A = this chain, B = another copy of it.
């Protein structure tokens, strides 16, 4: 790993999608002096202007180009990559167009609407020899990377089961969708499934080497009734047509996944009931267990044993989290945290930029992107069939068996010392 923050060769990147998330990520990218942004793009002209000003403010007043047509961005020959941060149902289409125009693509998170669009992403990446990386920031969380470090060091023994959840009370945000122009509302009103799987499956994929010696085989999803958002809209949107709207998305959607090497994964989507935020991460192996909600751990042979007790006791994870802090995060703290979401936004964007600079596959590649996003449409199918198992495609077409450590960029998730 090279010294953090040292600029590499300048890379020219177009930005598509300038909603709240897009503008935040653009600011983070503009904090990197080796990143040049010649063009920004959004459906809405007011956002294009906002984006142009954002760039000019950080880059000595020089205004970049702006457009409302993403195809113009894709077609430019003065950029080598695009960061796509548009809606869940448009970003794959845009990413495919950019790949076909010979650009690398970083794409914000969200689930896929169909397997076909996931395949289209893989085909476009393979055909054009350009990489596509879902910028799943949670893979770069301090906590997630410490857990990954423990996994790689065998702390939990053989991994057997992982859990995660997107558990975030979004009723108010969803209910404001008509004002904020956020597409989330339409997705919750119409779809029923695991709408937002990547924050959980991303870190878990790294823990159990999905698409690198392991893969997801099948998935079963079940949805509860949808009453939380309806009740909220009735109470808080009295004067809106939303007050009487039927919501399709079950409040709690549970998904079980079976992997080739025998592990099970449990995902929970929980966004329309009142609750504190939690990604509900949990990992279990033959030697121990860690849980995010309790911030506790039990590791056989390491955690204290009280003689005569009828069961084991939890201990705080504070000590072990410090001991196994990921080297990337140690360096990052010295360098100084920046960007949104506790610093992880910067790291995931930096991983993309440095992979591009060095022309190596990014640590999260198109096969990861496609398979993580596919969980959404697969879960919709399974929910619709009462929880019936549906097969998860092997987007690597068999290569997962041999894909391994060569697939590592700088700031890689797999760089563990010793």
Interface pair B264/A312, CB less than 8 Å apart: no
A9 at the interface (CB under 8 A from B): no
Q: Are A160 and B224 in contact (CB under 8 A)?
A: yes
**Interface check A285, CB cutoff 8 A:** yes
Bitwise, A121-133 to B at CB < 8 A (1) or not (0) is 0000000000000
Interface string of A263-277 (1 = CB under 8 A from B): 110100010011111
Interface of chain A: mostly helix, strand, loop or mixed: loop
What is the oligomeric copy number? 2
Q: How far is the CA of A274 from the CA of B169 in the complex (A)?
A: 33
A70 is an interface residue with CB less than 8 A from chain B:
no
User: Which residues of chain B are near A168, meaning CB under 8 Å?
Assistant: 311
Q: Does A339 contact B (CB under 8 A)?
A: no
Interface flag for A408 (CB, 8 Å): no
B169 engages A276 (CB within 8 Å): no
Q: Does B277 lie within 8 Å of A311, measured CB to CB? A: yes
CB contacts (< 8 Å) of A169 on chain B: these are 311-312
Contact of A291 (CB < 8 Å), options: B293, B311, B313: B293
The segment from A54-62, A139-147, A382-390 found at the interface with B is: A382-390
A284 at the interface (CB under 8 A from B): yes
Using a CB–CB distance below 8 Å, which chain A residues touch chain B? Answer: 157-158, 160-161, 168-169, 218, 220, 222-225, 227-228, 231, 250-252, 254, 256, 258, 261-264, 266, 270, 273-277, 284-289, 291, 293-294, 298-300, 310-314, 385-389
